[in-house]
């Protein structure tokens, strides 16, 4: 059995090889400043004694104390409060326990409102922090990318957030009160995910909601378990101060036990004399867990902070670094397929989500994806189509069927030529991926042709889902309104007031009012024979609202894959089109004349990450060199462009890669 020194060594080594670390923190890291289960039960007894006149509640709590396990007593206490007074009264006890770490004595048994609790929480210096949490806050604030911009905790107190903010970092709170998916973290700070509720309401509208239910500690929470497993995949998971009862955390880790990409490091405060060294512990068979005995978080985190500060930190936590072309590991897709080493569709989706800034949303992420549904508006092809086509082709090479839904309900002039060009270009881009299967192409105008609609309406099996626009609209408008559709098709921005909506309906975007219901109807047709949990939609970040509206009306476990958002450039901008290498090169020159050309999320960043780095990764191609410098990361590309000696060659190399890909020109 190993101890603190070995655990620190493992964590520093993981960070050094750009392995993200996922901390899962339990009540041990907050004690004694926030009482544990035993202290909270004593506090509940005090509450009842002070209130008086509840003999039935007193008797119920006395009976609850006869349970053998502390967690069972805890659950029984809350149930007794809910039965005899209210669930909100137990929240009073919980908040009182949290305020044990605050300088100000709480008003006797006061239930804190959203506003009052936020006021107390923002008084950062009034909170007492254990030394370990103070050091952890500095660790998270200084290098949020090392920890994938989030930390998980079963605690309901705000001490982790307080520690991060004291260290100058940005912390956000997310509370999972029942069974729900964990939202993806933002990359400008740390998201603290409270798996069992939070000490205060997160919004003013939640003031009357129950904040913490101990029953959730051991309840079956399949959505949370699935989501947590997906967040922990391909990471080094370190559990500190966590007891390990049968909850969503151990369920998620148990599901990942056989996954070779997950390392589980479990810090034990005491000795684990009853466990086999490197045994599977509570996770069952599969990948073993490494236990570390005698770990005190108040020693561990300060020592880890010192070790991390003295270790050389990687420049950025993003895609795994590539070897230089001299020893470049060029992928061999045919060989990979022959030996069974090719990336699965699920692995590729996770790589896009974790390594290249794409976003994967939806439940059942552990289900094997089988169908990629890709709606595309009929228009001139551009680089966004190119990148999405390469992703779709790579997923098809990994076993998924691809349905390309061409939205031609409002066709441009010369629609036939536009469609031939669009489909022809997409098929050529599919041809760049070894093993890709051509997509099935469906035109919305043909799917919604009156004769075909009539045939579906006369088929009882087709009536099991709304497969025509009228049926979709009938269900949709019971939940939402026209304003939401206008926002979804970007006919009006989110900030448009009601008085100016009518003036915006004459824009070119408003002529796509039928597109969302028509697309939804077609997807419902596919879902008649395809399980929803095996379907992934593909689109740009601007389609987020359209699919959120879909989920609100039909909460199907369909996943949604979004390409990265591009700031300050419209989808139809000329920057995304070109007829020659010279045009691409000229546009790069003009782009680099603007202030902020190197800002993440802007045009050049999007272009390098998606049309060069991602495209090369998917195709298994080497990346270009500029002199003796490889252009294998965003940092390397910007460094070369800033260097006056290398600027022209770097922009030429990027332009050549992009034009070769987009225009099907020989390199």
Instruction: Count structural domains, the chain.
Output: 3
| Whether the Cβ atoms of residue 137 and residue 95 lie closer than 8 Å to each other | no
Kindly tell me if the per-residue pLDDT of 12 is higher than 60: yes
Q: Using a cut of 0.95, tell me whether the model's pTM lies above it.
A: no
pLDDT of residue 229: 84
Pair (228, 374) in one structural domain:
no
pLDDT tier, 428 (very low <50, low <70, confident <90, very high otherwise): very high
Which helix (H) or strand (E) element contains residue 21? strand 21-25
pLDDT of residue 478: 63
* Dist. CA 352–CA 613, nearest whole Å: 12
| Whether the Cβ atoms of residue 248 and residue 224 lie closer than 8 Å to each other | yes
Q: Specify the CATH number for the domain of residue 305.
A: 3.40.50.1220
Q: Which of 290, 309, 328 is the last residue of a domain?
A: 309
Is pLDDT larger for residue 42 or for residue 262?
42
Q: Is residue 112 part of a domain?
A: no
User: 278: alpha, beta or left, given left = phi > 0 and alpha = psi -120 to 50?
Assistant: left
pLDDT of residue 409: 84
pLDDT of residue 508: 43
Lowest mean pLDDT among 282-286, 481-485, 636-640: 282-286
Is pLDDT larger for residue 572 or for residue 36?
36
User: Residue 634: which domain range?
Assistant: 574-663
- Encoded tokens for 72: 């069972």
Pair (443, 559) in one structural domain:
yes
* Dist. CA 161–CA 190, nearest whole Å: 9
How confident is the prediction for the chain on average, in pLDDT? Answer: 81
Q: Is residue 279 part of a domain?
A: yes
pLDDT tens for residues 46-70? Answer: 888 887 767 778 888 888 888 777 7
pLDDT tier, 108 (very low <50, low <70, confident <90, very high otherwise): confident
Nearest C-alpha neighbor of 234 from the set 341, 317, 329: 317
pLDDT tier, 516 (very low <50, low <70, confident <90, very high otherwise): confident
Pair (351, 426) in one structural domain:
yes
Q: Is residue 454 part of a domain?
A: yes
Q: Is residue 649 part of a domain?
A: yes
pLDDT of residue 314: 47
pLDDT of residue 138: 94
Pair (345, 482) in one structural domain:
yes
| Whether the Cβ atoms of residue 618 and residue 389 lie closer than 8 Å to each other | no
Pair (512, 383) in one structural domain:
yes
Per-residue burial over 535-555, b if 16 or more Cβ lie within 10 Å, else e, is bbbbbeebbbbbbebbeebbe
Q: Give the DSSP letter of residue 286.
A: S
Nearest C-alpha neighbor of 629 from the set 325, 191, 370: 325
- Encoded tokens for 188: 């400008």
* Dist. CA 374–CA 539, nearest whole Å: 7
Pair (230, 293) in one structural domain:
yes
pLDDT tier, 323 (very low <50, low <70, confident <90, very high otherwise): very low
Mean pLDDT value of segment 284-305: 83
Lowest mean pLDDT among 77-86, 128-137, 639-648: 77-86
pLDDT tens for residues 241-253? Answer: 887 666 778 778 8
pLDDT of residue 272: 56
Mean pLDDT value of segment 235-239: 89
Q: Is residue 36 part of a domain?
A: no
For 261, the 3-state DSSP assignment is coil
| Whether the Cβ atoms of residue 16 and residue 143 lie closer than 8 Å to each other | no
Q: Specify the CATH number for the domain of residue 364.
A: 3.40.50.620
pLDDT of residue 405: 95
Mean pLDDT value of segment 596-617: 89
Task: Please name every residue paired with 79 in a beta bridge, in sequence order, or none if there are none.
Answer: none
Is pLDDT larger for residue 88 or for residue 389?
389
Mean pLDDT value of segment 293-320: 75
pLDDT tens for residues 173-221? Answer: 999 877 788 888 877 789 999 988 898 888 877 656 667 776 665 667 7
Kindly tell me if the per-residue pLDDT of 279 is higher than 50: no
pLDDT of residue 553: 83
pLDDT tens for residues 373-421? Answer: 999 988 888 899 999 999 999 999 999 999 999 998 877 777 888 889 9
* Dist. CA 432–CA 561, nearest whole Å: 21
Pair (282, 389) in one structural domain:
no
* Dist. CA 186–CA 203, nearest whole Å: 19
Pair (446, 516) in one structural domain:
yes
Pair (18, 142) in one structural domain:
yes
Q: Which of 521, 536, 563 is the last residue of a domain?
A: 563
Lowest mean pLDDT among 66-75, 272-281, 490-499: 272-281
pLDDT of residue 322: 35
pLDDT tier, 463 (very low <50, low <70, confident <90, very high otherwise): confident
Pair (586, 629) in one structural domain:
yes
Pair (348, 476) in one structural domain:
yes
347, burial (CB in 10 Å: exposed 0-12, middle 13-18, buried 19+): middle
pLDDT of residue 522: 94
pLDDT of residue 503: 45
For 220, the 3-state DSSP assignment is coil
Q: Is residue 393 part of a domain?
A: yes
| Whether the Cβ atoms of residue 172 and residue 146 lie closer than 8 Å to each other | no
- Encoded tokens for 319: 């895609």
Q: Is residue 329 part of a domain?
A: no
Per-residue burial over 643-658, b if 16 or more Cβ lie within 10 Å, else e, is eeebeebbbbbbbbbb
Q: Is residue 81 part of a domain?
A: no
Pair (256, 301) in one structural domain:
yes
* Dist. CA 16–CA 308, nearest whole Å: 9
pLDDT tens for residues 330-353? Answer: 444 443 444 344 568 888 888 888
What residues have CB less than 8 Å from 77, skipping those under 6 apart?
41, 44, 61, 64, 90, 214
φ and ψ at 440, to 5 degrees? -80, 120
Q: Which long-range contacts (CB under 8 A, 24 or more apart) does 472-477 make?
A: 472/517, 472/518, 472/520, 472/521, 472/524, 473/517, 475/553, 475/554, 476/517, 476/520, 476/549, 476/553
Q: Where would I find the beta strands (DSSP E) of 268-421?
A: 290-292, 359-361, 371-377, 401-407
pLDDT of residue 327: 33
Kindly tell me if the per-residue pLDDT of 318 is higher than 70: no
Q: Which of 563, 585, 619 is the last residue of a domain?
A: 563
Nearest C-alpha neighbor of 520 from the set 550, 562, 544, 491: 550
pLDDT above 90 as % of the chain: 30
* Dist. CA 166–CA 249, nearest whole Å: 28
pLDDT of residue 396: 95
Lowest mean pLDDT among 17-21, 212-216, 266-270: 212-216
pLDDT tier, 548 (very low <50, low <70, confident <90, very high otherwise): confident
pLDDT of residue 276: 39
Is pLDDT larger for residue 160 or for residue 460?
160
pLDDT of residue 261: 62
Q: Which of 103-107, 110-114, 425-429 has the highest mean pLDDT?
A: 425-429
Mean pLDDT value of segment 580-587: 88
């Amino acid at each position: 059995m190993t101890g603190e020194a070995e655990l620190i060594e493992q964590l520093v080594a993981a960070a050094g090889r750009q392995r993200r670390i996922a901390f899962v923190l339990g009540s041990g890291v907050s004690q004694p400043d926030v009482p544990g289960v035993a202290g909270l039960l004593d506090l509940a007894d005090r509450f009842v004694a002070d209130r008086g006149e509840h003999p039935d509640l007193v008797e119920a709590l006395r009976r609850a104390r006869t349970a053998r396990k502390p967690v069972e007593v805890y659950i029984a206490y809350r149930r007794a409060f809910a039965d005899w007074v209210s669930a909100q009264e137990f929240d009073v006890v919980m908040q009182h326990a949290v305020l044990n770490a605050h300088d100000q004595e709480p008003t006797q048994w006061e239930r804190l409102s959203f506003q009052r609790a936020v006021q107390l929480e923002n008084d950062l210096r009034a909170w007492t922090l254990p030394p370990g949490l103070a050091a952890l806050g500095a660790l998270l604030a200084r290098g949020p990318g090392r920890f994938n911009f989030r930390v998980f905790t079963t605690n309901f107190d705000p001490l982790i957030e307080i520690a991060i903010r004291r260290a100058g970092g940005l912390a956000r709170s997310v509370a999972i009160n029942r069974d729900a998916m964990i939202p993806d973290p933002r990359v400008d700070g740390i998201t603290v995910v409270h798996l069992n509720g939070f000490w205060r309401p997160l919004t003013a509208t939640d003031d009357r909601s129950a904040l913490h239910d101990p029953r959730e500690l051991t309840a079956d929470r399949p959505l949370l378990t699935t989501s947590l497993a997906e967040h922990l995949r391909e990471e080094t998971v370190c559990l500190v101060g966590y007891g390990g009862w049968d909850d969503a955390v151990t369920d998620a880790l148990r599901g990942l036990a056989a996954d070779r990409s997950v390392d589980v490091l479990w810090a034990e405060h005491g000795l684990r004399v009853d466990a086999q060294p490197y045994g599977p512990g509570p996770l069952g068979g599969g990948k073993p867990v490494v236990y570390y005995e005698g770990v005190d978080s108040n020693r561990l985190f300060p020592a880890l902070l010192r070790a991390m500060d003295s270790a050389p930190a990687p420049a950025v936590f993003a895609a795994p670094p590539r070897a230089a072309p001299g020893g470049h590991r060029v992928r061999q897709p045919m060989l990979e397929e022959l030996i069974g080493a090719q990336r699965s569709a699920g692995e590729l989706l996770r790589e896009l989500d974790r390594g290249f800034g794409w976003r994967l949303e939806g439940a059942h992420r552990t289900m094997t994806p089988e169908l990629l549904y890709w709606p595309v508006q009929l228009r001139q092809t551009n680089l966004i189509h190119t990148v999405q086509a390469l992703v779709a082709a790579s997923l098809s090479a990994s076993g998924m069927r691809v349905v390309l839904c061409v939205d031609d309900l409002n066709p441009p002039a010369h629609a036939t030529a536009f469609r031939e060009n669009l489909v022809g270009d997409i098929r050529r881009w599919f041809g760049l991926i070894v093993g890709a299967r051509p997509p099935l192409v469906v035109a919305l105008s043909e799917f919604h042709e009156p004769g075909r609609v009539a045939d579906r309406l006369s088929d009882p099996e087709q009536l099991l889902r709304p497969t025509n626009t009228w049926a979709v609209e009938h269900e949709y408008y019971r939940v939402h309104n026209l304003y939401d559709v206008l926002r979804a098709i970007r006919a009006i921005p989110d900030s448009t007031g009601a008085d100016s909506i009518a003036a915006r309906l004459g824009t070119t975007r408003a002529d796509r009012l039928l597109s969302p219901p028509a697309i939804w109807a077609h997807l419902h047709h596919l879902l008649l024979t395809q399980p929803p949990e095996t379907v992934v939609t593909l689109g740009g970040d601007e389609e987020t609202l359209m699919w959120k509206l879909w989920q609100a009306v039909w909460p199907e476990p369909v996943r949604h894959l979004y390409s990265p958002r591009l700031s300050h450039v419209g989808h139809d901008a000329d920057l995304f089109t070109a007829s020659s290498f010279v045009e691409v090169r000229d546009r790069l020159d003009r782009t680099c004349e603007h202030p902020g050309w190197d800002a993440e999320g802007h045009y050049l960043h999007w272009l390098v990450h998606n049309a060069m780095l991602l495209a090369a990764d998917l195709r298994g191609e080497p990346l270009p060199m500029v002199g003796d410098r490889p252009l294998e990361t965003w940092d390397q590309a910007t460094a070369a462009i800033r260097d006056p000696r290398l600027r022209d060659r770097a922009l030429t190399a990027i332009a050549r890669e992009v034009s070769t890909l987009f225009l099907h020109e020989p390199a």
